[in-house]
Structure 1
Amino acid sequence: MTTSKWYMVLRRILDNPDFRASKRIRLAIYMLMVILVYAILLSSVLPPKYHLAVGQVSPVTIRSPITTVNTQATEEARQEAMAHVPKQYVQSPAVLEQALQQIDELYNAAISESTDKSLSQAQRIESLQSIAPKGVSMATLQALSTLSSQDVGILQSVSERIVKELLGVPFYSDSLQQASLLVDRQMLNYDLNRVSRLIVQNVVSSVLKPNMIYQKQATEAAREAAAKSVANIMIHQGDVIVAKNGIVTNSVQSELMDVGLYSGHPNFGIVFGFALYVILSVGLLAAYVERRDPRRRLDNLMLLVLLIVFVLVSILIALTKSVVDSGPSAAPFLMPISLGAMLVSVMMDGSLAGVTSFYFSFLVAAAFGFQFEYVLYSFIGSLVGAYSVGRVTSRSTFMRAGFLVSGVNVISVLATHFMQMDNGASFHDLSVHLGLALLNGVLSAVLVMGILPFFETTFGLLTAIRLLELSNPNHPLLRKVLLEAPGTYHHSLIVGNLAEAAAELVGADPLICRVGAYYHDVGKTRRPMFFVENQMTKENPHEKIAPSLSHLIITSHVTDGLVMLQRAGLPKPIQDICATHHGTTILWYFYNKAKEMDKNGTVRVDDFRYPGPKPKTRECAIVMICDAIEAAVRSMARPTPNRVEGVIRKIIKDRLQDGQLDECDLTLQDLDVMVSAFMKTLKGIYHSRIEYPDIDKLRKEVGK
């Protein structure tokens, strides 16, 4: 099957009323929107994964996508703080008491034995040894046993004082290693002989023990408090974890794990959360679309176009995010996100484009970590782009819209730059952002102009640009009408003016009405002389043929015109205007003529009706009424305002009574408002003119 045949098949499917109205297809389009947007943007929402070994060279510059705690650096800082906390001790008075008790027991025993003459020297030494502290030497005991009770009392007093001096203050394990030296220093304060010094030094040194008791729980609590006092060391969003060609270290690997960029299992929380995010966004959009006024509700074809626009914007966001991940962080400022809203505004309407601007900025937010500056930038640009192309009069409208978007983008960049309290952006960075913002709007406008013809051709959409192109008098069909049926061409122009004026007052599309009116009678070019506006002489070919044949010729201009429009590829709304501009009205002239010629009474009025169908849209109904009004007013001998208004109201009344307007949504109020529009337009066309004098007669009189 050739490409053209595939295209024709596609167009038949898309133009099928069942396709456009099916609720199942409508639901399927919404579900497909969720699936495609989710699939396209999931990789942009999920942070990229890297598997870099320690010592490996990084192939790219990796920046943190989030702000989080640097676990390794924070832990190292806390360990260092804990190491600086000394061990916790408490001084025990029991150590001093025990030392004094041991000294007193030894010296008291020595005094007691010195007065007991019944004991031998060996027995004294043995008795002293049994109660002496473990560190007292035999030489000390021997010397002590030979001293008198008075001398022992002096040594006891000195020993007690030294012990109190040393153990009355904190005495640690380290001090115990220098016990002898500490005792010697204390003895400098006393006048003792050499033997006495040795006895005191040995006895005191033997009873000295550390009086500072280690408090394990208190030490751990102090260290935990010191660790908690250390603030978290943060990795800020946008910080470079490792530069391109940089060496991967343990700390780099740890930071990659902290920010979720190290390869491993996917983050199922983000996967599930983004699914809910997309479902909620599309669901709210669907609720808005379905609750719109029936006149502005999208059929399935336009809903499919909206789906493609969402897919296009999603691809654009995903591509921009991939560029940002590879290095240039300023790429979002060049992303022509307003493209989507501008397309929706041109192909659908501005209010829907304004709503979709919210959702496009939501998708940008999800892909770029909900950074405020990107969300604000994309939303304002999209909103301005949507409303700046709301009324397209030429392709230059897009460029004006592009410049307007660029200007607003610059203001948005400056606003977010000055609003950031911790803004560390350099003047160079700001200049780059402003330059990209300027290019953004122009790029969006260029892309819209390039993409729009694809939608117009593929889906047969009737955009303002397409309508303006079709209204060009040099279009082959219009030129054919002008050359072969000039009366019909003039009639179509007037019908177009009438229809446009009426449409502006009742909320219909004026441009569709005008262009549809230009093409509604192209079928008359098949047999132009059978239509009174093209008859240059008084001969009427219908006078020579039967009324039934005249009926076939007259009504065939509708089907002939529809075939010509289909072959020329004109959009369906224009075809609908051509097919319905007579509805199922009756050709009363030929019916009356046939009835006068019929002697058997077999003529039926329904045999002289147009094949239809009846108008189903406001635009079709307006062109039908304008076509009848222009023909009726043109045939009037004296078109005074009162008579013209009477004819207009009679035509509208006849169409209502005949049921021609039953299937469209024009109200009686709309019809009444349209009368004033018709009167203003017709007054400018069929106004009264002064009667000019006979020029030849005046010349003869002047010559006389």
Structure 2
Amino acid sequence: MFSRWTQFLRQWIDDPRFRENQRVRLGIYIGLGVAMFLLLLGSVLPPRYQFTVGQTSPVTIVAPITAVDTVATKEAQEAAANRVQPQYTQSASVETKALQTLDSLFQTASQLAGDKNLTLSEKLATLTASAPKGVSSSTLQPLLTMSPQQVEVVQSVSERIVRDLLGAPFYKESLQEAQLLVDQQIVKYDLGRQSSLIVQDLVVSVLQPNMIYNQAATEAAKKAAERSVGDVYIHQGDVIVPKNGVVTQSVIDRMKDVGLYGNQHDYGMVLGFMAFVLISIGSLAAYIERRPPRRRLDNLMLLVTALVLLLMGIMISVTKDFMTAGAPTSAAYLEPVAVGSMLLAVLTDSSLAVVASFFVSLWFGAALGFNYWYAFIGFLSALVGAYSVAKVTHRGTFMRAGFLVAGINLLSILAMHLLQADNSADFRSFSLHAGLGLLNGVLCAVLTMGILPFFESAFGLLTAIRLLELSNPNNPLLRKVLLEAPGTYHHSLIVGNLAEAAAEIVGADPLICRVGAYYHDVGKTRRPLFFVENQMTKENPHEKIAPSLSHLIITSHVSDGLEMLQKAGLPKPIRDICATHHGTTILWYFYNKAKEQDKNGVVKIDDFRYPGPKPKTRECAIVMICDAVEAAVRSMSKPTPNRVEGVIRKIIRDRLQDGQLDECDLTLQDLDVMVPAFMKTLKGIYHARIEYPDPDKIRKEIAK
């Protein structure tokens, strides 16, 4: 069941309708954007808690942002307002009223003193009725018996003291000390004991507070005091409640302030992050679509790129979830951002890996509170990782790349530490971060080596590692060719050398050319003796069969090879080389033979063509030319350099004239510079050798 599903998947992803469909391409971009938004939204938005007072917090909760502590700010403002003294307004009418009361009293006393019709007791009763409350009879009675001059002195002193006391602020509290204040004023005047007592009693009786409470001014002063108090802040990174700490109302209030309490998210942040992801994916898509045609990604490789980015999104989300669950913030230094760039560098190319890693680093920084430092460190490690695996020759390359990533992580963390204002206070924290940065490099290498085979097998991708594994002579197919068709095996090795040399000259992939050449003739193992390079005797089976049957047997090695490669699970680029290494060329030998035997003139030249298709890539075209060149040079009796070069150029010219190279992007200049590369390689293979003497013949001559 699994193998059937795998076969169906391979057929689907190899289908040109999938690889080149623009709707599928647009769907991949949209799917990537939606998936990244949903994956990272929970990481970008602050977590939400719904604790109750008295509950124990299962995690350490820190402030994700800097925000105003509303409760602490309100308490500070209230304290400042409470320190404001009540505001009073001095009233002049109090003094005026007191003076009028005294004046009325003394006038009444003067009138009563001169009235002969009233008795003293009647006068005293009348005066008492008009006097202020609190004035005793012992004070009023002398006023009725004193001379007018004495009364005038008492009145004058009393009024002066009232003016002195009520001309200045006189509070309610001052009223409690009125007698003392009046005594302090009386000593300034030369009065007798009786007059002093009268002045004291009268003045005290008319004194009232002249400072009236002003509520509006008091409230304004309190408001001003509140405004003068600055906001109290909860700073980003402040611990709101530690792990296993008790949640109080104060904790809940602080969580509300930093947006960690309740179940209502900030929809402004949701829309902002949506725009952030849209811009990121759009920019990445613009870069991919504007790449040169030779480096263009088909839909399969675009899907693989999207899956790698989604994998990085999952890693970022998991890291943030661990930190939210209580892991220390230093866990962010373990995030293997370089894994994505290393995978893309191996699966596609390093330039795409660098651009993609830039956006992955931005997403990483966004998930960790839009922290610039995390994004900076992540991008540097991804950059080094991408360029470190640009040319993979063995799996040890990944470990070397991991060490380089660890080194750049250490330098980045050191730079961040030195740029801090107090970089000598927390050496322990720096040591922890540096250690995690070094471990991050090793983790990136291990994860890349572990994940890469999944992409290779699931999507049939041809990476440098996969190619090196396929070039191993112990591969079952290559060993089958070696044992059952040794001539074909040797021919394939030489074609591989020629193709690799030509690919290096024209900028094609040398490794694909070499490995593709190794497998291009595996179909000959079905009937090895029908191919001249495997015939150990002079007997040729084609001499006993019709040319049409010979044509069928010879051309079937292409379809047989494709079937064998498909069954073995070899990637599409290798199968394409096998399918196109003859294109639609003509089997001239059997066509001429059939034409000689044809008496009715029914033989058609198209009946003796290979079924094709024609090469569509540079690598396929190079292997086609090299296959023909090796066979032609091998058949030459005297392969001198001039003759070899002439044969090579004739083969290239024939392929051009026959239209075999119309569908690939090899230029005439490419074809021209390939000739010296062929000559140099063939010179090393078919070089001249001296003829060594026969030892038996020499012994016989010596014996004679």
Asked whether the 8 Å contact 1:503–1:619 carries over to 2, the reply is: yes
**Cα distance in 2 for residues equivalent to 1:57 and 1:144:** 83
Instruction: Tell me if 1:369 matches 2:369.
Output: yes
Asked whether the 8 Å contact 1:44–1:367 carries over to 2, the reply is: yes
Asked whether the 8 Å contact 2:365–2:373 carries over to 1, the reply is: no
Report the Cα offset of residue 218 of structure 1.
Answer: 4.1
**Cα distance in 1 for residues equivalent to 2:648 and 2:219:** 100
Asked whether the 8 Å contact 1:128–1:141 carries over to 2, the reply is: yes
Report the Cα offset of residue 201 of structure 1.
Answer: 2.4
Q: Does the C-alpha gap of structure 1 residues 637 and 157 become closer, same or farther in structure 2, counting only changes over 3 Å?
A: same
Q: What's the CA shift string for 1:454-496, capped at 9, x where partnerless?
A: 1111111111111110000000000011111111111111111
Asked whether the 8 Å contact 1:111–1:153 carries over to 2, the reply is: no
Match of 2:566, as an amino acid?
Q
Q: 1:660 matched to which residue of 2?
A: 660
Q: Does the C-alpha gap of structure 1 residues 260 and 660 become closer, same or farther in structure 2, counting only changes over 3 Å?
A: same
**Cα distance in 2 for residues equivalent to 1:684 and 1:116:** 159
Q: 1:527 matched to which residue of 2?
A: 527
Report the Cα offset of residue 32 of structure 1.
Answer: 1.3
Match of 2:175, as an amino acid?
L
Q: Does the C-alpha gap of structure 1 residues 120 and 567 become closer, same or farther in structure 2, counting only changes over 3 Å?
A: same
Q: 2:437 matched to which residue of 1?
A: 437
Match of 2:589, as an amino acid?
Y
Of residues 299-308 and 177-186 in structure 1, the stretch that sits farther from structure 2 once superposed is 177-186
Match of 1:19, as an amino acid?
F
* Correspondence list, 1:372-411, <5 A: 372-411=372-411
Q: 1:475 matched to which residue of 2?
A: 475
Q: 1:300 matched to which residue of 2?
A: 299
Q: Does the C-alpha gap of structure 1 residues 624 and 249 become closer, same or farther in structure 2, counting only changes over 3 Å?
A: same
**Cα distance in 1 for residues equivalent to 2:425 and 2:44:** 25
Q: What's the CA shift string for 1:103-133, capped at 9, x where partnerless?
A: 3444355446545667775786687678755
Instruction: Tell me if 1:628 matches 2:628.
Output: yes
Q: 1:22 matched to which residue of 2?
A: 21
Q: 1:3 matched to which residue of 2?
A: 2
Asked whether the 8 Å contact 2:170–2:210 carries over to 1, the reply is: yes
Match of 2:32, as an amino acid?
M
Q: Structure 2: state its 5+ residue gaps.
A: none
Match of 2:600, as an amino acid?
N
Match of 1:287, as an amino acid?
A
Q: What's the CA shift string for 1:15-55, capped at 9, x where partnerless?
A: 11101111111111111112221222222222122222222
Match of 2:53, as an amino acid?
V
Instruction: Tell me if 1:643 matches 2:638.
Output: no
SS class of match (2:329): coil
Match of 1:607, as an amino acid?
D
**Cα distance in 1 for residues equivalent to 2:96 and 2:700:** 158
**Cα distance in 1 for residues equivalent to 2:190 and 2:207:** 22
Asked whether the 8 Å contact 1:114–1:149 carries over to 2, the reply is: no
Match of 1:45, as an amino acid?
V
Asked whether the 8 Å contact 1:82–1:223 carries over to 2, the reply is: yes
Q: 1:12 matched to which residue of 2?
A: 11
**Cα distance in 2 for residues equivalent to 1:438 and 1:552:** 62
Q: Does the C-alpha gap of structure 1 residues 528 and 208 become closer, same or farther in structure 2, counting only changes over 3 Å?
A: same
Asked whether the 8 Å contact 2:591–2:605 carries over to 1, the reply is: yes
SS class of match (1:241): strand
Q: 1:545 matched to which residue of 2?
A: 545
SS class of match (2:18): helix
Asked whether the 8 Å contact 2:335–2:440 carries over to 1, the reply is: yes
Asked whether the 8 Å contact 1:495–1:626 carries over to 2, the reply is: yes
Report the Cα offset of residue 585 of structure 1.
Answer: 0.7
Q: 2:201 matched to which residue of 1?
A: 202
Instruction: Tell me if 1:34 matches 2:53.
Output: no
* Correspondence list, 1:565-604, <5 A: 565-604=565-604
Q: Does the C-alpha gap of structure 1 residues 90 and 591 become closer, same or farther in structure 2, counting only changes over 3 Å?
A: same
Match of 2:385, as an amino acid?
G
Asked whether the 8 Å contact 1:110–1:149 carries over to 2, the reply is: no
Of residues 61-70 and 399-408 in structure 1, the stretch that sits farther from structure 2 once superposed is 61-70
Q: Does the C-alpha gap of structure 1 residues 186 and 450 become closer, same or farther in structure 2, counting only changes over 3 Å?
A: same
Report the Cα offset of residue 254 of structure 1.
Answer: 1.0
Q: Does the C-alpha gap of structure 1 residues 151 and 342 become closer, same or farther in structure 2, counting only changes over 3 Å?
A: same
* Correspondence list, 1:447-466, <5 A: 447-466=447-466
SS class of match (1:270): helix
Q: What's the CA shift string for 1:70-119, capped at 9, x where partnerless?
A: 11112212221222232334545554455445434443554465456677
Q: 1:330 matched to which residue of 2?
A: 330
Q: 1:309 matched to which residue of 2?
A: 308
Q: Does the C-alpha gap of structure 1 residues 166 and 477 become closer, same or farther in structure 2, counting only changes over 3 Å?
A: same
Normalising by the residue count of structure 1, what TM-score does the alignment of the two structures yield? 0.94
**Cα distance in 2 for residues equivalent to 1:316 and 1:356:** 15
Report the Cα offset of residue 224 of structure 1.
Answer: 3.2
**Cα distance in 2 for residues equivalent to 1:319 and 1:449:** 20
**Cα distance in 2 for residues equivalent to 1:230 and 1:641:** 96
**Cα distance in 2 for residues equivalent to 1:618 and 1:137:** 129
Match of 1:153, as an amino acid?
E
Asked whether the 8 Å contact 2:492–2:520 carries over to 1, the reply is: yes
Q: 2:65 matched to which residue of 1?
A: 66
**Cα distance in 1 for residues equivalent to 2:247 and 2:623:** 74
Q: Identity of counterpart residues, as a percentage? A: 67
Q: 1:250 matched to which residue of 2?
A: 249
Equivalent pairs, count = 703
**Cα distance in 2 for residues equivalent to 1:506 and 1:146:** 139
Q: 1:500 matched to which residue of 2?
A: 500
* Correspondence list, 1:56-95, <5 A: 56-93=55-92, 95=94
**Cα distance in 2 for residues equivalent to 1:505 and 1:236:** 61
Asked whether the 8 Å contact 2:54–2:246 carries over to 1, the reply is: yes
Q: 2:359 matched to which residue of 1?
A: 359
**Cα distance in 2 for residues equivalent to 1:37 and 1:602:** 65
Q: 1:271 matched to which residue of 2?
A: 270
Report the Cα offset of residue 361 of structure 1.
Answer: 0.8
SS class of match (2:245): coil
Match of 1:592, as an amino acid?
N
Q: 1:350 matched to which residue of 2?
A: 350
**Cα distance in 2 for residues equivalent to 1:703 and 1:157:** 174
**Cα distance in 1 for residues equivalent to 2:645 and 2:102:** 137
Q: What's the CA shift string for 1:264-291, capped at 9, x where partnerless?
A: 3222222222222222211111111111
Asked whether the 8 Å contact 1:115–1:149 carries over to 2, the reply is: no
Of residues 346-355 and 155-164 in structure 1, the stretch that sits farther from structure 2 once superposed is 155-164
Q: Structure 1: state its 5+ residue gaps.
A: none
RMSD: 2.3
Report the Cα offset of residue 645 of structure 1.
Answer: 2.2
Report the Cα offset of residue 528 of structure 1.
Answer: 1.2
Q: 1:145 matched to which residue of 2?
A: 144
Of residues 138-147 and 437-446 in structure 1, the stretch that sits farther from structure 2 once superposed is 138-147
Q: Does the C-alpha gap of structure 1 residues 104 and 422 become closer, same or farther in structure 2, counting only changes over 3 Å?
A: farther
Of residues 157-166 and 330-339 in structure 1, the stretch that sits farther from structure 2 once superposed is 157-166
**Cα distance in 1 for residues equivalent to 2:124 and 2:676:** 142
Match of 1:68, as an amino acid?
A
Report the Cα offset of residue 200 of structure 1.
Answer: 1.8
**Cα distance in 1 for residues equivalent to 2:287 and 2:460:** 25
Report the Cα offset of residue 165 of structure 1.
Answer: 2.9
Match of 1:326, as an amino acid?
A
Q: Does the C-alpha gap of structure 1 residues 425 and 655 become closer, same or farther in structure 2, counting only changes over 3 Å?
A: farther
**Cα distance in 2 for residues equivalent to 1:380 and 1:448:** 17
Match of 2:593, as an amino acid?
K
SS class of match (2:240): strand
Report the Cα offset of residue 577 of structure 1.
Answer: 0.5
Report the Cα offset of residue 139 of structure 1.
Answer: 5.8
Asked whether the 8 Å contact 1:65–1:237 carries over to 2, the reply is: yes
Report the Cα offset of residue 560 of structure 1.
Answer: 0.5
Q: Does the C-alpha gap of structure 1 residues 599 and 180 become closer, same or farther in structure 2, counting only changes over 3 Å?
A: same
